Amino acid sequence: MKTLIYSARAFEIPYLKNANNNKHKLIFHKKSLSEDTVQDAKDFDAISIYSADKADFSILKQLQQFGVGHIALRSAGYDNVALSSAKKLAIKVANVPAYSPFAVAEHSVCLLLALNRKLLKAQARIKRYNFKLDSLTGFDLNKKTVGIIGTGAIGSVMVKIMHGFGCNLLGYDIVEDQTLCDTYNLKYLSLSELCEQSDIITLHVPLTAETHHLIDSNLIKQMKPGVFIINTARGAVLNTEAIIKGLEENSIGGLGMDVYEHERGLFFKDHSQNIPEDMLFKKLNELPNVIITGHQAFLTKEALMNIADTTIYNLTCWSKGQSTENELTTEI
């Protein structure tokens, strides 16, 4: 199957080539899928895209006209694809539903620890040979209450990790996992109750109409003063303006984020010579109690291998005229 790999990055190409093992003709394209680059997909059977790529109705219609019948996502999230439009246009779409929940959950903990123990500030001092400890005080995670929003594949790993720290665990999900309750003493509450009781809140939900701006000014008002929020899910799960206000008013004690509401066109690129005029991001980036990483929570060797293997598997199924259990358009 002749496939154009959009948003191909140097760190993932070797994994894709190894997984492919000459099964399909892969062409790697550095640019992301957009109105400006969709014409590059002419004469391809399939394309592969990442979460920063745009696949709305207009782009999907052009892909169909070019003869593209398949889209292999290299991500679990698919909010960037108009799935209902893809089905109407007979374009099959599949994702990588579980590449490594450990990678994302562990990165969430990394953000929490770095934020709590002021590691970036401490490291900057050490680089200047300043070994003073003033204003570097954190808190024990032991016995703190952690609210985990979304207890699926990633959230359940987060439950296990935070249980190891000796935390009191609260959960919120539309589907409750009784095994987590029995094994790790997780207690499910309403979203409001979780926010009221948690010292730390971590987010592990997909972006849907229901979760868009899930954390808004109303919920922030219900949170404990000084709460820490960790988001490795999707940027738009947080209302960015409300979060900034909470940080500036000290109602939110700290924010660790690997995703950003307006990250498309910003993340995965070097803007050091031409800083974008994104005032919300600038505000976040300037706040001392915020740690930001650029959508790298998935970035482990194991995750890259799993993403590549599943992407090639999806393409191979289609090339043989078979369906794949990872197809998303069959559910619309």
- Structural domain boundaries of the chain? 2-99+301-331, 101-292
DSSP string, 20-74: HTTSSEEEE-SSPPSTTTGGGGTT-SEEEE-TTS-B-HHHHHHHHHHT--EEEES
Question: SS3 letters for 101-155?
Answer: HHHHHHHHHHHHHHHHCCHHHHHHHHHCCCCCCCCCCCCCCCCCEEEEECCCHHH
Cβ-contact 179, 159 below 8 angstroms: no
The reply to whether 295 belongs to the active site is yes
Q: Looking at residue 332, what is its pLDDT?
A: 55
Known active-site residue 263: yes
The catalytic residue among 70, 107, 204, 295 is 295
Q: For 140-175, what is each residue's pLDDT tens digit?
A: 999 999 999 999 999 999 999 999 999 999 999 999
Structure confidence by residue, pLDDT tens digits, 205-251: 999 999 999 999 999 999 999 999 999 999 999 999 999 999 999 99
Q: Could you give phi then psi for residue 39, rounded to 5 degrees? A: -65, -20
Q: Which of 29, 263, 271, 277 is catalytic?
A: 263
Residues with Cβ within 8 Å of 287's Cβ and at least 6 positions away in sequence, in order, are: 244, 247, 248, 255
Superfamily classification of domain 2-99+301-331: NAD(P)-binding Rossmann-like Domain (3.40.50.720)
Q: For the domain made up of 101-292, give the CATH fold.
A: Rossmann fold (3.40.50)
Task: Give the pLDDT score at 244.
Answer: 98
Q: Does pTM surpass 0.85?
A: yes
Q: In DSSP terms, which residues pair with 133 in a beta bridge?
A: none
Q: Containing H/E element for 184?
A: helix 178-184
State the CB neighbour count (10 A cutoff) for residue 103. 22
To the query of whether residue 234 is one of the catalytic residues in this protein, the response is yes
Three-class SS of residue 316? helix
Among residues 74, 107, 204, 234, the one annotated as catalytic is 234
Residues in Cβ contact with 14 at an 8 Å cutoff, skipping those fewer than 6 apart = none
Residue type at 78? Y
Reported as a single tens digit per residue, the pLDDT across 254-302 is 999 999 999 988 999 999 999 999 999 999 999 999 999 999 999 999 9
Tokens representing 43 are: 């004469």
Asked if residue 188 has pLDDT above 70, the reply is: yes
Domains 2-99+301-331 and 101-292 share a fold: yes
